[in-house]
Amino acid sequence: MKRTGLVFVIAILCFVGFEDTSSGQSTATYAPENLSGARRVELASIQVASLKEASADEEEAEPIESSGETVPDPLEPLNRAFFEFNDKLYFWVLKPVATGYKTVVPEEARVCVRNFFNNLAFPVRFVNNLLQGKFFGALEETCGFLVNSTLGLGGLADIATAVDIKRHDEDLGQTLAVHGAGPAFYINWPFLGPSTLRDTIGTAGDMFLDPLTYLGNYWYAPGFRGLNVVNETSLKIGDYESLKKAALDPYVALRDAYYQNRLSKIKE
Amino acid sequence: MRRKGWIGLTFLALWAVCGFDPVWAGVPTEKVKETTDKILAIVSDPALKDPAKEAQRRERIRKTVDELCDWEEMSRRSLGRHWAKRNEQEKKEFVHLFGQLLERTYIDKVEGYSGEKVDYVGERVDGEYAEVDVKIVTKKNTEIPVVYKMRARDQKWWVYDMVIEGVSLVNNYRTQFSDILAKSSFEGLMKKLKEKTAE
């Protein structure tokens, strides 16, 4: 009897999840002619705004730097020093370790490890969806977590994504932003990399929701976190190199990429 | 009985999610798709895989990308308010160098192509502006959302910005350029750009 109930709940959760994604899909794929009037106006005003921002020929006023598009960086000299430190850390330690790990562990297994850690971070996403009032997101997250933890063998396989149950990547930094907190200023932490004051507070808070924090043995949590970092790096070797190769100033390029990416995540 | 109904509904929902055809695909999407398909054909062509053919392969990608990207518009937007202060010669030289850097970055990216799936998930058109939403699905269980920002010129659609995972290429370079220009000069920027493209 109990089990029947559970199946039922999962089915409902799944159904709600699917309904959400299908409606999302249909709005994402509307034909331009189907735009409603309001939507058109909204789009047009966005276009006008973006036009204004960049039509350099007619522009005399200061358009870009003052519009909050860049993050304040009063600690720049210190941040640059830490950037250099992290750069060396990557090329001298992290990359060689990740490369060795990559030659030993096949890609399929590394993707499983990634899936496992993603699934384990469910409480962070769930609570932050709730804190932002995104109840559908929280529900779909729960559905994905249940499916992956059972059918996905404790999270090793990401069945949820395969059947279009979407992940809603929310964290405390984004929650604080949704409730009006600005980024304050940029911080490039040694070891941890790009962040802002707000996102640092967020990361610290999210640690309380991370199951790894509550592992009994003193050494387990750092061990697992280290594995996660090496595993992720092994799947992304080359990304940092190409950022550096494309950039005139890699420090500024990374700072801006971090900030723009965060802005888009907050908007979602 | 009740449970069967739910299972049926779940399947129905699944079908609804997976089964829709993208009937909306318009001209901007076609342009992006056509170019992307051409480029993917070049990088997956076994006849061009030989390292000795690298220059030839890159040249063919370059020609194809040139049909899609409006380097001058990208340069204008990346320099922002500084663009108007430059004379024609400086503008020309800047577009040439910056275009080279962007081309190279793009070619490096697609050269690393290893069978990722490219989905065209949406399109918005408003007058002479359009946005094409693309999702690159990797084998590593990640999805990379890309937005091509386009503008119509001479009866054709041209890309003037690419937004990858929320990061606009033009904005990223504009931040770098204005930082360099604030600390040094246009000549200093050109020198850096020359060094970069010569790398």
Over residues B6-28, the pLDDT tens digits come to 666 565 555 555 444 444 457 89
Q: Under an 8 A CB cutoff, do B167 and A161 touch?
A: no
From chain B residues 101-140, the ones with a CB under 8 A of any chain A CB are 101, 104-105, 108-109, 112, 121-127, 129, 133, 139-140
Distance CA A221, CA A36 (A): 51
Give counts: helices (H), strands (E), chain B: 7, 5
Percent pLDDT > 90 in chain A is 69
pTM for the whole structure: 0.80
pLDDT at B48: 82
pLDDT tens track for B53-100: 888 888 899 899 999 999 999 999 999 999 999 999 999 999 999 999
Residues B179, B180, B182, B185, Cα dihedral to 10°: -160
Query: What is each CA distance from A260 to A30, A267, B24, in whole angstroms?
Result: 26, 11, 29
- Answer whether B164's CB lies under 8 Å from B156's CB: no
Locate A155 and state its tokens: 């999270």
Counting as low any pLDDT under 70, the low residues of chain A are: 1-68
Which of A12, A16, A18, A174 has the highest number of chain B CBs within 10 A, making it the mutation to test binding with B? A18
Exposure letters B68-84 (e unless 16+ CB within 10 A, then b): bbbbbbbbbbbbbbbbe
- Give the nearest chain A residue to B11 (CA atoms): A15
Nearest to B125 by CA among B36, B33, B25: B25
CA A93 to chain centre: 25
Over residues A50-76, the pLDDT tens digits come to 443 444 444 333 333 334 579 999 999
CA–CA distance, A155 with A157 (Å, rounded to integer): 5
Characterise A47 by phi-psi region: left (phi > 0), alpha (psi -120 to 50), beta (else).
Answer: alpha
Interface test with chain B among A42, A161, A256, by most B beta carbons within 10 Å = A256
Residues 6+ apart with CB under 8 A from B82: A56, B177, B178, B181, B186
Alpha-carbon distance of A154 to A120, in angstroms, equals 9
pLDDT for residue A195: 98
- Tokens 């990608």 identify what position? B61
Is A212:A224 a contact under the CB 8 Å cutoff? yes
Contact B178 A64 (CB under 8 A): yes
According to DSSP, the β-strands at B117-126 and B129-137 are antiparallel
What pLDDT was estimated at residue A130? Answer: 97
Which pLDDT score, from 0 to 100, does residue B115 have? 82
Do B165 and A264 lie within an 8 Å CB cutoff? Answer: yes
B174 touches chain A (CB under 8 A): yes
| The predicted structure's pLDDT at residue B13 | 57
Residue A138: CA count within 13 A, CB half-sphere: 12
Q: Which two tokens stand for residue A239?
A: 């990304």
Q: Are B130 and B159 a contacting pair, CB within 8 Å?
A: no
Assess B59–A contact: CB distance below 8 Å, yes or no: no
A137 token code pair: 């997101």
Q: Which residues pair with B157 in a beta bridge?
A: B152
Please give the order of strands across the beta sheet that includes B117-126. B117-126, B129-137, B143-153, B156-164, B167-168
- Tokens matching residue A237: 């070797």
Q: What are residue B50's phi and psi, to 5 degrees?
A: -50, 125
Contact criterion met (CB < 8 Å) for B140 and A111: yes
Interface pTM, i.e. ipTM: 0.83
Q: What pLDDT was estimated at residue B16?
A: 53
Inform me whether the pLDDT recorded for B187 exceeds 90.
Answer: yes
- Phi and psi angles of residue A209, each rounded to the nearest 5 degrees, phi first: -100, 0
Per residue in B97-155, pLDDT (tens digit) is 999 999 998 888 888 888 889 999 999 999 899 999 999 998 887 889 999 999 998 88
Report which DSSP code applies to A93: I
Question: Are the beta carbons of B74 and B102 closer than 8 angstroms?
Answer: yes
Tokens of A41: 């106006």
Can you give the pLDDT at residue A28?
37
Sign of CA dihedral B155, B93, B88, B130: positive
| Cα–Cα distance, B74 to A64 (Å, whole number) | 15
